[in-house]
Structures are given as C-alpha cells and as structure tokens.
Amino acid sequence: MADPSSYRPKPGQIPDSPGVYKFRDEHRRVIYVGKAKSLRQRLANYFQDLSGLHPRTRTMVTTAASVEWTVVSTEVEALQLEYSWIKEFDPRFNVKYRDDKSYPYLAVTLNEEFPRVQVMRGAKKKGVRYFGPYGHAWAIRETVDLMLRVFPVRTCSAGVFKNAARTGRPCLLGYIGKCSAPCVGRVTPEEHRELADDFCDFMAGRTGTYIRRLEKDMMAAAEEMEYERAARLRDDVEALKRAMEKSAVVLADATDADLIAVAEDELEAAVQIFHVRGGRVRGQRGWVTDKVENVDTSGLVEHALQQLYGEETGDSVPKEVLVPALPEDPEAVSQWLADRRGSQVSLRIPQRGDKKDLMTTVQRNAQQALGLHKTKRASDLTTRSRALEEIAEALGLDTAPLRIECFDISHLQGDDVVASMVVFEDGLARKGEYRRFQIKGFEGQDDVRSMHEVISRRFRRYLQEKERTGEWEEGPAATGAVPAEGTAPAGGTGTVAADGTVPAGGTVAADGTAIVPAEAVAGAPPAVPAQPAEPAEPAEPREDDGRPKRFAYPPQLLVVDGGQPQVAAAKRALDELGIDDIAVCGLAKRLEEVWLPDDDDPVVLPRSSEGLYLLQRVRDEAHRFAITYQRAKRAKRIRSSPLDAVAGLGETRKQALIKHFGSVKKLRQATIDEICAVPGIGRRTAESVAVALAAAAPATPAVNTATGEIIEEDDGGSTT
C-alpha cells in the first residue's frame, strides 16, 4: 500500500487550467483517468487526509504510485481525451459499463456495391447504417419481412449472392418478389441503392411520405381499373403500417431523442436507454456497472453519454438527449455532443408532459434491470458460498455464517418506534422467520437504547426456549396450542408476546389476539396488515416438521444497521445474557463500513467483495421490513377513532353508528336510548360506547390561535 504523500506533486507544479490526469500503479499501469476544469483544485482533493476520503477513493490513491496530467484548451477537449484514454487503458478504478446482453441491430451495409439488410451484433463498422438496438433478433426479422414487400433490398450473404450471379438464377426471395434480384441484373446498382436509401429513410422515421405515395399510386391504379396492382399496393401499405405498429408511438412525429435513466445503490448502477426516432421507440438497451469510483448520478450520466456517443457521428447522435441529472459541466458535454452530430444537441432533464412520462417508464425499466441483476447474482450458489467465506474471513469467524440475523430500528421523529429482524440462511432470505418488534421499554428517539432492548428480548427468548426444551424438540404448535412466545401458526391466532413482538405479517385484534395470515409465513409480509373486525377462529392443529421454533435457532452472525454505538449496544445485550458464541457486526450505510465490537477502526471490505454485497442485501432488507411496519403502525394510528376502545364493537357496527348519527360529535351527544335505536346495538354495547366517548371527550374546545376560531370536531373523530 503506497503513501499518497510519496508521489504528491510539489506546490505550484500542477497548472490551474483544464486537463486530464492519470494515476499509475507501481507497474506503470494506468488505474484511473479523470478530467477537471482546474487540475490544481481537483488533484488537491486526492492528497488530503486519508480518513476524509471515500473508501473507494482511498483505495485508489493508496494503490497508485504516481500521477501525471495533460493540459488542454477547453473542457470539451478534456471530455474527448478522457474518453479516449479510458478506452485505451481500461483503468480498473473507472466506471465501465457493460451490456447485460449483446443487443442485435438492424444494419444496412451501405459500404457495399449492393447494400444488404441483415441482423448485426458486436462492434459497429464504418459505412454501415444501424437501427436499434432491438431486444430480440426475431423482432428485426419480422420487421424486415414486412418491409421487403415495399423495399425489396438484398438480404442474402455474399456466398449466396455470388452463386446466384454465377448460375443466373436468383434465390427464392427473388422469385416471390421480396428481393429485386440485383444478382441477376433485374435492377441496376443505382436502382438497388435507391431502394436501400428509401429503406433507411423509412426506418429513420420518415414514414408518412412513402405511405402517402403508395396510397396515391393505389388510388390511381384503381381508377385505371388495374385492380391487381391496386390490391398489391394496398397490401404494401398494410405491411408498412404493421411494421410501424411494432414501434410504440410515444412522442410527436418529429421527435428524435434518446432517454437515459439510472438506477443505483451503493455498489452498482444500471442504465437504461430508449431510442426514440420519429416519435417512436426504435430501440432499447441497458448496462450494469460496478461503482468502482466515488461517483454520483451526474457522473454516471456523463459516463453513459461517453459510452453511447464516443464513437458515433451524424444522425446516430440525436437532436435531444433527456437525462435524470445533468453532468457536472453540461455546457461542455452539450458542445461535445454537438461536435459529434454536426449540429446543435439539446441536453436536459424533462420537467413535464409526455417526455417526463416516458422518462418515468425508462426509470422503471432501469430499476427492474438492477433488481434482475441482483436476483441473478444472489441466486448463484457459488457466489453465495464465496460471499459467506469472505464474511467469515473478514470478521475472523471459525466457520461461514450459515444463518445471519439483521436488526434495524425505524421511527418517525421518535413516534411509532419499531424494530425488525430478518433472517438469511445460506445467503438467501427466509421470510417466514422474519419478526417485528414494538419498542415499549421507553418513549422517544434513542436508536442505541432501542437496539439494546430488541437484542435483549430476542435472545432472552432464545435462552428461555433452550432452557425449556434442553434439546431441539418439537414445540407446542404440534398439538395446535399457541406457542408460549406469542407466535402463531400460519393462518392461526395467538396472543401477543409479553415483550410486545408481533409475528411477521400479523396484526392485533381488539382483544389482544395476534392474527397471522398464511401468506405472511410463505412469502413477503403485506405492506399494510389487514385490520380484523373480530377475533379470528383458532387455527387447526398442524403437523410439526421437527424444527425448533423461530427464536430457538441462534444465528452464527448478528448484524445491526449502524455503526459503533449500535454494535456496542448489541454486544452489551448479549454479554448481559451470558451469550458469547454469536459474532456481532454493524454495517454503516454512509460508507459501507463493517464495525466490530471494541474495534476503533472499521473493516473495509473490497468494493468487488461478494461478502459486502451480501451484508448490504441483508441490511437493506431489514430496513425495508422495519419501515414497512412503521408506516403501517402510523397509518393505523392516524385512522384511529374513540370507538376503537369499545370492546367487541366491530367495523360494521362502527360504520352503522357513524352513518346513523352523522359524526362522532353527534354520537357523543346522544343518549343511551338513542344509541340503542341503531340496529344491532344492544343496551350494554350502547353503555360501553357512551363511556368510551365520554372518556375521550376533550376537556376544552380547541382554538385556532391565528384566527381565534373554535375548532369543532367533525365526523369520524377528525377535526377541522
């Protein structure tokens, strides 16, 4: 590991002008390329205290052994030189986009005497006109098959073409009218090239001219009673219209634009591009990249623009490029794009209308691409095994942590404080093992104290279960009884635990019963649990699968969402319970650092580490699960009414009371006899309603301090 101060340029050596710089390692390999408006200011950022640098930047400067730079005249030249050097040196610390597949293009080989229409993949060739990219090659072939009726351009290979010219007989397409057969001289090279140019013009979006011309010829043929020719032209028009229908109309007819969207997390980013020509989506492509350098959305957009247009010229660069965030120097990038196109290029963020709506669609595709990439990566057994081994090695564990539990705290400004516990076994989520906790030991915002409480409660239950059974034996669920810990079988009921835990996906009835829908154990918990009106029926007895109950399994690794304070709280909770065989660590979100108990410095896993990727997934899942529960509790609290305190009063009778009296205020003013007049309300229930509303009545009327107006209660228990 090199000391950056050993190769830091002397003061005054670095010019204060635009330029491009390169970091090299001890073997003189270029490991990073960057550009700057001011080389002096930018390079000074790399030679500050290492503790103030982003972990990725810190790794880069300690890997490097020297830095050099090249001064240029303008920011546009710097952008071009940066792209050229990245392509030439392929630096390991630069963001490099990679296609998640090799996209096919519809290509027209205008560099040949007789241009050919074909499907092409890979690097683009000079003199070839490209359209796309397309998602599937069959989509190109279907489009070409329809268009060959009108534009019978050559599609055969060089070998077939030469053989037909030698024998004097065209191929099958020549006989059925889908090729003009230049191989046997039916058309001249000039006539065939004109067909190819018309084909390219139609694919480029200039469709109206050809359709109107064919329709005009069709009408003329019909007037001259050439009905067979008119029918053929009619079929040609329909073929072109069907080819156009394969591209969705999204914008105005004259719109040529590329829309770029980015979906990212701390380690990876996905880019999606929609190519719109003539108002239609003509192609789509996407990339996924590791975020090797410390780069934000603007930087990712700039890299994507370089990747897209670095080797393009002319019409391949559209008139308009829509992005989610502007690059650091949008004027220089716009000028660079304009130079490559040969005319003005608009680079902007869509703010309203159809373009903003389409950008939302592109963004959704980027999110799905990133999720699919992560799913593929997580589902690979070899990758998961390597991730667990890397975690074990980094944390000094004796064995790979086959069971990992992660805890997170969630609240809204100190209200509705909850916690989540998620479980990963063999690197995969076990959603049936997830748990939710309500923080009840204190009120207010204190994440450290909340973490201590949750860890204590979870492992106190583990010790109780271990003491109760002595061995891993079948639990009470085998007989249909509610487990002592307050969990319930899928689709059944049970009481809320003494420590306030609620089974994942469950909710609480008015009598304190915990109700767990079956899907909560089999799959992901619902975002907002259903609110039962009455206690559910007891669950049918189910067979026990021989496994110990959820809290009976100890994890090999306990992960908390947070840094040193949260890790210390979790370790203290385990120490107080006498548990010393469970490893503890924390993952701090800001810099993705792994903290261990009693260590002053964090463990920084390599950016490409599968172990870090797994820890991040575990932490993010715990955060998602906690915030979902917290939002559900907040929504339930906001919807609460004084009638909720009446035992045995379900939603149907609540609605009947409100509908009969019009508002809670009028219901509070009603007598017991008037309440009894509501269908379904007996005298005992009416007395309970009256008592509950009297207890919930405000002592004094609320007053608007700005106007002096008395704020009266409205229907449903809300105020206006």
User: Residues 237-256: pLDDT tens digits?
Assistant: 777 776 665 555 556 566 78
Does the pLDDT at position 518 exceed 60? no
**Helix H segments across 168-292?**
172-175, 189-203, 208-223, 227-245
Which residues does 640 contact at the CB level (< 8 Å), separation at least 6?
717
Mean pLDDT of 431-453: 81
Residue 544: which of 477, 638, 592, 596 has the closest Cα? Answer: 477
Return the higher-pLDDT residue of 64 and 376. Answer: 64
Whether the Cβ atoms of residue 557 and residue 583 lie closer than 8 Å to each other: yes
Q: Cite the DSSP H helix spans in 639-671.
A: 651-661, 664-669
Q: Provide the residue type at 671 as one letter.
A: T
422: tokens are 């998620």
pLDDT (mean) for 691-715: 55
Nearest residue to 119 via CA among 135, 97, 98, 99: 135
Tally of CB atoms within 10 A around 360: 12
Please tell me the distance from the alpha carbon of residue 144 to that of residue 130, in angstroms, as a whole number. Answer: 13
Residue 178 token pair: 């889908």
Between 297-306, 345-354, 695-704, the lowest mean confidence (pLDDT) is in: 695-704
Query: pLDDT by residue (tens digit) across 262-314?
Result: 988 777 788 888 888 777 777 777 888 777 667 788 888 888 888 888 878 88
How is residue 653 written in tokens? 């009778």
| pLDDT for 670 | 84
Which pLDDT value is given to residue 98? Answer: 56
For 253, residues 6+ apart whose C-beta sits below 8 A from its C-beta are 205, 208, 278, 279
Q: C-alpha distances in angstroms, 103 versus 121, 144, 226, 305, 498?
A: 6, 17, 44, 18, 58
Report which secondary-structure segment, H or E, holds 557: strand 557-561
**Length reported for the chain:** 720
For residues 598-620, give the mean pLDDT. 81
Of 66-80, 507-521, 610-624, 654-668, which range is least confident? 507-521
Mean pLDDT, residues 75-91 taken together = 81
Cβ–Cβ contacts within 10 Å for residue 706, how many?
6
Mean pLDDT of 364-380: 76
Between these two residues, 97 and 560, which has the higher pLDDT value? Answer: 560
| CA separation, residue 639 to residues 532, 634, 636, 642 (Å) | 14, 9, 5, 10
Query: For the CA atoms of 231, 233, 235, 236, what is the dihedral angle to 10 degrees?
Result: 170
When pLDDT is averaged across residues 522-551 and rounded to a whole number, the result is 39
Report pLDDT digits (tens) over 29-39.
888 888 888 88
pLDDT band at 719 (very low <50, low <70, confident <90, very high): very low
Reported as a single tens digit per residue, the pLDDT across 551-589 is: 667 888 999 888 888 888 988 888 888 888 888 998 877
pLDDT in the model for residue 322:
92
What's residue 6's pLDDT?
84
**pTM for this entry:** 0.45
**Collapsed DSSP state (helix, strand, coil) of residue 555:** coil
Give me the pLDDT at residue 527, please.
39
Q: Which residue has the higher pLDDT, 179 or 551?
A: 179
Range with the lowest mean pLDDT among 25-39, 175-189, 562-576, 605-619?
605-619
Does residue 471 surpass a pLDDT of 60? Answer: no
pLDDT at 244: 61
Look at residue 380 in the predicted model and tell me its pLDDT.
65
Give alpha helix (H) positions in 380-446. Answer: 381-395
Could you tell me which residues come within 8 angstroms of residue 487 by beta carbon, excluding any fewer than 6 positions away?
Answer: 494, 497, 503, 514, 516, 549, 550
Rg, C-alpha atoms of the chain: 34
498 falls in which pLDDT band (50, 70, 90)? very low
Region 589-596: what's the mean pLDDT?
Answer: 77
**In degrees rounded to 5, what are phi and psi of residue 87?**
-65, -35
- Which of 23-32, 319-328, 461-470 has the least mean pLDDT? 461-470
The Cα-based distances of 18 to 82, 88, 334 in angstroms read 12, 21, 17
Q: How far apart, in whole angstroms, are the C-alpha atoms of residue 411 and residue 627?
A: 8
Query: Which pLDDT value is given to residue 596?
Result: 87
